[in-house]
């Protein structure tokens, strides 16, 4: 199988979230970037397991600028064979998906894997958009992926349960928890990553359909009201009369 894994960067999950320029830009000051957890833990690791079991090749792709190469090297250290960086700002989900779909179409992949969502913008958009741009099936929120010849057998989340589905490659799959176990890169992987091929590709012309124009932070919570542990009737009463949630 020739597998393409879409990798995005996201701020470390403990990052302080703040905005600058009149709340129009994310404040990157002091922010550490990591590989988006869904892309790394599930999509990339499952791709590597498939390759280890039946051979093939795992290419990672990211739409981003030169600063994102640190994140790419990390994904290479976990075991991907080679990397592609589309040299552009990932302006919106459509722009990002269009770039990836163009590359994938020209390079004949059997399988394109994405994470369930990016933990910064949380759109869950890019995977479905790639699939539509390539006119191939999209299996969203997959928790299990097995391959038998050119047939993919998957489990995916549906409302309140799980659905088992089958589809023929090529397809796009978005990967959620359960798909694989996180792998910690070892020293050999980190060394090898330095010399693995990283191809930089110019973007193709494409419309931008949406933009984040401003941001805001939630209002600070008022102080927590402490309830006597021996008086749960009071708590229930407050939930009814004050909070009005029961």
Partner 1 sequence: MKTLVYIHSDNGISKASLEAVTYAKKIGSEVIAVSGGSSSDLAKLGEYGASKVLVDRAVVNGDAQQITRMVAAAAESTGAEIIVFSHEITAKAVAPRLSVRLKAGLISGAIALPDLSNGFSCKVNVFSGKAFGNVTVKTDKKIISLLPNSLQPEVTGAACAVEEFNSNAGSAAIKVVETKKPEGNIPLPEAELVVSAGRGLKGPENWGIVEDLANALGAATACSRPVADIGWRPHHEHVGQTGVAIRPNLYIAAGISGAIQHLAGVNGSKVIVVINTDSEAPFFKAADYGVVGDVFEILPKLTEAVKKFHAAN
Ligand X SMILES: Nc1ncnc2c1ncn2[C@@H]1O[C@H](COP(=O)(O)O)[C@@H](O)[C@H]1O
- How is residue 25 written in tokens? 């830009």
Name the one range near partner 1 by CB under 8 A: 50-58, 71-79, 191-199, 202-210: 202-210
Query: What does 114 bind: ligand FAD, ligand X, partner 1, none (CB cut-off 5 to 8 Å by kind)?
Result: ligand X
E strand or H helix that includes residue 147:
strand 138-148
Quick check: 37 and 91 in contact, CB under 8 A? no
Residues in 126-155 that interact with ligand X by CB under 6 A: 126-127
Give the shortest CB-162-to-partner 1 separation in angstroms.
5
Q: CA–CA separation, 46 vs 33, rounded Å?
A: 22
Site membership for ligand FAD, residue 229 (CB under 6 A): no
Q: Which residues contact 130 (CB under 8 A, 6 or more apart)?
A: 6, 97, 100, 101, 104, 112, 114, 138, 172
Quick check: 105 and 134 in contact, CB under 8 A? yes
Site membership for ligand X, residue 59 (CB under 6 A): no
Site membership for ligand X, residue 203 (CB under 6 A): no
Quick check: 89 and 65 in contact, CB under 8 A? yes
Which one of 34, 192, 198, 238 is in contact with partner 1 (CB under 8 A)? 238
Site membership for ligand FAD, residue 137 (CB under 6 A): no
> Could you please report the per-residue DSSP string of 26-44?
E--TTPPEEE-HIIIIIII
Residue position matching structure tokens 């099936």? 137
Task: Report the SS3 class of residue 34.
Answer: strand
Query: What does 73 bind: ligand X, ligand FAD, partner 1, none (CB cut-off 5 to 8 Å by kind)?
Result: none
Query: What does 33 bind: ligand X, partner 1, ligand FAD, none (CB cut-off 5 to 8 Å by kind)?
Result: none
Residues in 91-130 that interact with ligand X by CB under 6 A: 93, 96, 114-115, 117-118, 121-127
Q: Which residues of this chain interact with ligand FAD, rule CB under 6 A?
A: 13, 37
Binding site for ligand X (CB under 6 A): 6-8, 36, 38-39, 61-64, 90, 93, 96, 114-115, 117-118, 121-127
């Amino acid at each position: 199988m020739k597998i393409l894994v879409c990798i995005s960067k996201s701020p470390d999950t403990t990052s302080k979230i703040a905005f600058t320029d009149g709340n129009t830009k994310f404040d990157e000051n002091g922010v550490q970037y990591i590989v988006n957890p869904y892309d790394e833990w599930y999509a990339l690791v499952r791709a590597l397991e498939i390759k280890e079991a039946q051979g093939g090749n795992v290419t990672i792709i990211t739409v981003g600028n030169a600063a994102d190469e640190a994140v790419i090297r990390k994904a290479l250290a976990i075991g991907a064979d080679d990397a592609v960086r589309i040299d552009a700002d990932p302006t919106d989900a459509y722009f990002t998906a269009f770039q990836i779909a163009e590359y994938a179409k020209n390079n004949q992949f059997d399988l394109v894997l994405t994470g369930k969502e990016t933990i910064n913008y949380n759109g869950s958009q890019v995977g479905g958009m790639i699939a539509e741009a390539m006119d191939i099936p999209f299996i969203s929120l997959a928790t299990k992926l097995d391959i038998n010849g050119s047939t993919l057998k998957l489990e995916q989340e549906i409302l309140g349960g799980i659905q088992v589905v089958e589809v023929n490659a090529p397809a796009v799959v978005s990967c959620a928890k359960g798909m694989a176990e996180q792998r910690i890169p070892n020293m050999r992987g980190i060394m090898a990553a330095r010399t693995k091929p990283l191809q930089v590709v110019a973007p193709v012309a494409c419309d931008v359909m949406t933009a984040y124009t401003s941001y805001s932070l939630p209002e600070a919570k008022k102080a927590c009201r402490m309830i006597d542990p021996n008086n749960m009737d009071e708590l229930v009463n407050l939930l009814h009369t004050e909070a009005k949630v029961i």
